[in-house]
């Protein structure tokens, strides 16, 4: 029963995490451990920048935080051949799989979910399809019930860094108008 209350939450950044940790679709009293797995980021500098804010978020909610070491080379291998895909395409599916697989290993037999579903730019159905390959995945659609807006407002209140691109070097190629819309 205790295990049912534990949740390993894959976190991509503090603004997204802020919309998920107290989300109404997570029953109160869940014991959440954050898992920062973000080897998709285009540089270690960006990895550390987002991690710094995730640490602030973890401290705010007094949550444990696991940091998956940065390994961009492994991520690049995983998406090889898909570099020219648009954001939201096949490269992103591989990217989700890369991070969810690693999070699943940290969770072991315990449940895990991902903050990726809070983003209006990421299709929850595509994330669920990948997540369901792992028996301990919980389908929580954090973009429901104003999850995105909650995270955005919380980030503004806390002064969190709000990046204007998804994360990998290929997402930096998105047209400026998309990057503006991206601002978390
Ligand atoms: S655009 Fe975002 S989700 Fe897609 S591959 Fe790049 S970092 Fe991953």
Question: Cα–Cα distance between 83 and 28 in angstroms, integer?
Answer: 41
Assign 28 a pLDDT band (cuts: 50, 70, 90): confident
Question: Is the CB of 166 within 6 Å of ligand 1?
Answer: yes
Instruction: Answer whether residue 178 shows pLDDT above 70.
Output: no
What's the gap in Å between 103 CA and the centre of ligand 1?
17
- Tell me the three state secondary structure of residue 32: strand
Atom number, ligand 1, closest to the C-alpha of residue 89: 4
Ligand 1, closest atom to CA 116? 3
What per-residue confidence (pLDDT) applies to 76? 98
Q: What is the pLDDT of residues 39-97, one digit of tens each?
A: 999 999 999 999 999 999 999 999 999 999 999 999 999 999 999 999 999 999 999 99
Q: How far is CA 180 from CA 114, 152, 183, in A?
A: 24, 14, 6
Q: How far is the CA of 12 from the centre of ligand 1 (A)?
A: 11
Decide whether any atom of ligand 1 lies within 6 Å of the 50 Cβ: no
Model confidence at 2, pLDDT cuts 50, 70, 90, reads: very low
Taking only the tens place, the pLDDT of each residue in 63-79 is: 999 999 999 999 999 99
The pTM for the full model equals 0.93
Task: Give the nearest ligand 1 atom to 79 CA.
Answer: 5
pLDDT at residue 27, rounded to an integer: 85
Best mutation site among 10, 171, 173 for ligand 1, i.e. most ligand atoms within 8 A of its Cβ? Answer: 171
167 Cβ inside 6 Å of ligand 1: yes
Give 108 Cα–ligand 1 centroid separation in angstroms: 25
Over residues 101-130, the pLDDT tens digits come to: 999 999 999 999 999 999 999 999 999 999
Supply the residue whose CA is at minimum distance from atom 2 of ligand 1. 166
Range of the domain at 25: 2-182
9: Cβ–Cβ under 8 A, 6 or more apart, which residues? Answer: 17, 20, 21, 32, 33, 34, 35, 112, 113, 114, 115
CATH of the domain at 121: 3.40.50.620
User: Tens digits of per-residue pLDDT, 127-177?
Assistant: 999 999 999 999 999 999 999 999 999 999 999 999 999 999 999 986 555
Q: How many separate domains does the chain show?
A: 1
Cβ(10)–Cβ(113) below 8 Å: yes
């Amino acid at each position: 029963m205790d295990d049912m209350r534990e949740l390993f939450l894959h976190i991509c950044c503090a603004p997204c995490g802020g919309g998920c940790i107290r989300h109404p679709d997570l029953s109160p009293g869940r014991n959440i451990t954050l898992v920062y797995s973000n080897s998709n980021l285009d540089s270690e500098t960006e990895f550390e920048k987002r991690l710094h804010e995730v640490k602030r978020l973890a401290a705010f909610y007094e949550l444990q935080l696991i940091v998956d070491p940065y390994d961009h080379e492994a991520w690049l291998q995983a998406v090889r051949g898909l570099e020219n895909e648009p954001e939201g395409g096949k490269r992103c599916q591989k990217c989700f799989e890369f991070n969810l697989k690693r999070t699943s290993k940290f969770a072991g037999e315990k449940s895990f979910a991902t903050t990726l579903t809070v983003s209006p730019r990421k299709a929850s159905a595509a994330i669920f399809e990948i997540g369901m390959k792992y028996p301990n995945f919980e389908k929580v659609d954090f973009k429901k019930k104003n999850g995105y807006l909650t995270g955005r407002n919380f980030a503004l209140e806390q002064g969190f860094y709000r990046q204007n691109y998804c994360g990998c070097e290929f997402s930096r190629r998105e047209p400026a108008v998309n990057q503006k819309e991206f601002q978390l």
